Amino acid sequence: MSDPGEIANPLLLSWVKEWWEVAKERNTKGVITYKHAYDSLRACPQKFQHPSELKVLKGFGDKLCQRLTEQLQKHCNENGLPMPKVTKGRRKRAIIPGEYEMDEPDLQAPPAQRQRIAGAPKEYVPRYRSAAYAILLVLAGQDPNDGPVGMTKEQLMEVAQPHCDASMRLTSDRSRHYRGFDGIKTLIQHELACKRGRPVERYALTEEGKDVAKRIREVAIARGDIPPAGPSLGGANVAVQIISRPTDSNPVIIVDDDEDDDVIVPEDTEVTTENNEYKDLVKVGKTVSDITTLPTFRPIRLPPDSFTVELVLDSRETRTKTDRGYIQQELAKRGINVTTRALALGDALWVAKCNQTGWLSRMGAEGDEVVLDYILERKRLDDLISSIRDGRFREQKFRLRRSGLRNVVYLVEEKSLDPNYYKKYEEAVQTAMAQIQVVNGYFLKRTREIDETIRYLASMTKMLQGLYEGKPLHVIPTGVLTAQNYLPLLKKLREKNVEIGHCITYPAFASLCSKSGGMTLRDTFLKMLMCTRGVTGDRAVEIQKVWKTPIEFVEAFEACGGGVEGRKRKVNLVADRLDHLVGRKKFSKALSEKIAEVWGDA
């Protein structure tokens, strides 16, 4: 280490070193910034009169220079020394090493040639319209009031692309690396950007990066590349979904950069055909009171090698709004034949498709596809949380159970979320995942990104091809099926012969699993009850045990009468009538009042 007498600015250096040591002890994010500042100031042979002049050195931004100024003012006051004055005139900046020299925003007066101070470490500034340049530019233009500090990987790629000549996304079929997005690694290496957040990763500027980005942004504005307001999240193709109820005082906002499940499908897609053609194919039928009333039939037998196993993907399952065919294309590269349509249930299922067109029709069935015993429900982490909040989570599991398929895969894709938002619902998510496995008996699969989900779909398809192809399939004729006898019939067949699996055609499955078709009054009543926040499936069943139909429930509230006393009876009706329940089934006074507001107009 050099002798202190050889250092040009020993006093300023001692303060920087002191703050550096404190940052190391506390393990704060300022360690790297202070280290760079200490190294550059220690190596610089030029003596500075005022701390504001240090901005020409690496590691020194507005905040650090301001802190040094305040420390120097305190030192001068304590020792009776005059405070140095700020040098007037334009502050000199170090010339930008490599790539290009930045322009000043004032286009009418060309800037004087700027010289780098001898001995000062070189400062990295990315090339114009490179990926690193684009990332710095958009991060510099982010409004802190728009949301959490920093941006996710997907947001950065989308917003930065217009300011970058290279592609921010995939470069080739064989390489899965993001060529443009690799610029973030360079920025992190030069300590201009940092990555933070778990499980949500966001990229933000360091203090040193803010200084460089600010100058880049000034030049971009002067060139006319961006408006003075700068690029922000508002310029990205990012959908902001507000999930709330009228009674919520604080609606939850989720920044969602992917397609949601309720996307509107154009009328020329298969959803319209499917709904019209299959909706009433399977009748509701009579309630099965005894197993002896179940129909007897001769199954349709599909010989071995007369069909191929194929994956059917919901047409609303996309990567992004602008990349709808990504999943299908990636699966095709892996040799997986994919059929897309608007599924009545689930996001993916597997069918046995007859090699000979019309073969099932000649045997008294319909279509050319038979649904196998596997179905997959895909949920991004943000959608899982919103479905828990609005009740879709329970309703979807209810419908999956009624599908009759034994092998249900619940796939959760761990999409990046704001850490503060995820922390609020982390316990609910973990509870839901445990229920999926323990209570519902479904297989839970967790993936980190869409590409891992695609790999899993491909491996599942190949596994099922090996499992089913080459063996006969037994198909239940659609004519003997009703919405009422479907599940009891499957249960009887499985108990009778575990080895032989019985399937149904895809049109029959679509009819049975239609969200509205084939539902009994009891099913409808339960769904209506579960629309009230706080009424779980268990609680809805308990209400239905007492009041069998919606009209009975409404009449019970009407019997409470009017006026103040009548309102009290309505508010307490459910809680008082079901006060024997304990645990998760118990009704609180608040929940009873909420139910009365919906059903009793209390």
For residue 534, what is the domain's CATH number? 1.10.150
State if pTM tops 0.85: no
CATH number of the domain encompassing residue 88: 1.10.150.110
294 and 401 co-located in one domain: yes
pLDDT at 313: 92
Nearest to 140 by CA among 204, 58, 61: 204
In the structure, what pLDDT confidence band is assigned to residue 110 with cuts at 50, 70 and 90?
very low
Asked if residue 250 is part of any domain, the answer here is no
Q: Supply φ then ψ for residue 273, to 5 degrees.
A: -60, -45
Helix axis angle for 419-438 and 381-390, nearest 10°, is 70
404 and 492 co-located in one domain: yes
Q: Report the mean per-residue pLDDT for the chain.
A: 77
Residue with tokens 């040799």: 335
pLDDT at 183: 83
* Averaged pLDDT for residues 228-250: 36
* Averaged pLDDT for residues 182-186: 84
Asked if residue 266 is part of any domain, the answer here is no
200 and 318 co-located in one domain: no
* Averaged pLDDT for residues 289-306: 85
190 and 310 co-located in one domain: no
Asked if residue 269 is part of any domain, the answer here is no
Say if residues 381 and 317 touch (Cβ distance below 8 Å). Answer: no
Identify which has the larger pLDDT, 587 or 171. 587
Say if residues 44 and 117 touch (Cβ distance below 8 Å). Answer: yes
Residue 118 has pLDDT above 60, yes or no: no
Asked if residue 39 is part of any domain, the answer here is yes
Say if residues 366 and 356 touch (Cβ distance below 8 Å). Answer: no
Least confident residue range of 32-46, 134-148, 232-246:
232-246
Asked if residue 296 is part of any domain, the answer here is yes
* Averaged pLDDT for residues 337-361: 88
526 and 458 co-located in one domain: no
CATH number of the domain encompassing residue 204: 1.10.10.10
Q: How many domains does the chain have?
A: 4
546 and 508 co-located in one domain: no
Residue 112 has pLDDT above 70, yes or no: no
Helix (H) or strand (E) holding 2: none
- Among 205, 235, 265, give the residue marking a domain's end: 235
Asked if residue 507 is part of any domain, the answer here is yes
309 and 386 co-located in one domain: yes
Identify which has the larger pLDDT, 308 or 415. 308
Residue 449 has pLDDT above 80, yes or no: yes
* Averaged pLDDT for residues 200-226: 81
Residue with tokens 């009365």: 596
pLDDT at 395: 76
452 and 547 co-located in one domain: no
CATH number of the domain encompassing residue 417: 3.40.50.10130
pLDDT at 190: 84
328 and 470 co-located in one domain: yes
Asked if residue 160 is part of any domain, the answer here is yes
Q: How far is CA 76 from the centre of its chain?
A: 54
- Among 64, 93, 121, give the residue marking a domain's end: 121
Say if residues 144 and 81 touch (Cβ distance below 8 Å). Answer: no
193 and 305 co-located in one domain: no
Identify which has the larger pLDDT, 317 or 72. 72
- Give the separation between CA 19 and CA 31, rounded to whole angstroms: 9
Q: Which domain holds residue 23?
A: 1-101+113-121
Over the stretch 260-287, which tens digit does the pLDDT of each residue have?
333 222 333 333 334 446 667 888 778 7
| 591-598 CB contacts, 8 Å cutoff, 24+ apart | 591/534, 591/535, 591/539, 594/532, 594/533, 594/534, 595/529, 595/532, 595/535, 595/543, 596/557, 596/570, 596/571, 598/532
Over the stretch 503-537, which tens digit does the pLDDT of each residue have?
999 998 988 877 444 456 777 888 889 888 888 87
Least confident residue range of 242-246, 532-536, 588-592:
242-246
- Give the separation between CA 463 and CA 550, rounded to whole angstroms: 46
498 and 528 co-located in one domain: no
Least confident residue range of 50-59, 542-551, 573-582:
50-59
In the structure, what pLDDT confidence band is assigned to residue 577 with cuts at 50, 70 and 90?
very high
Reduce the DSSP state of residue 253 to 3 states and report it: strand
pLDDT at 322: 53
- Give the separation between CA 558 and CA 261, rounded to whole angstroms: 39
pLDDT at 250: 32
- The 10 Å CB-count burial string (b at 16+, else e) for 400-419 is bebbbbeebbbbbbbbbbbb
- Give the separation between CA 137 and CA 325, rounded to whole angstroms: 30
Asked if residue 204 is part of any domain, the answer here is yes
In the structure, what pLDDT confidence band is assigned to residue 576 with cuts at 50, 70 and 90?
very high
Instruction: Please name every residue paired with 502 in a beta bridge, in sequence order, or none if there are none.
Output: 474
211 and 298 co-located in one domain: no
What's the number of CA atoms in the CB half-sphere (13 Å) around residue 312?
A: 22
- Among 91, 121, 151, give the residue marking a domain's end: 121
Give the pairing of strands 369-380 and 407-413. Answer: parallel
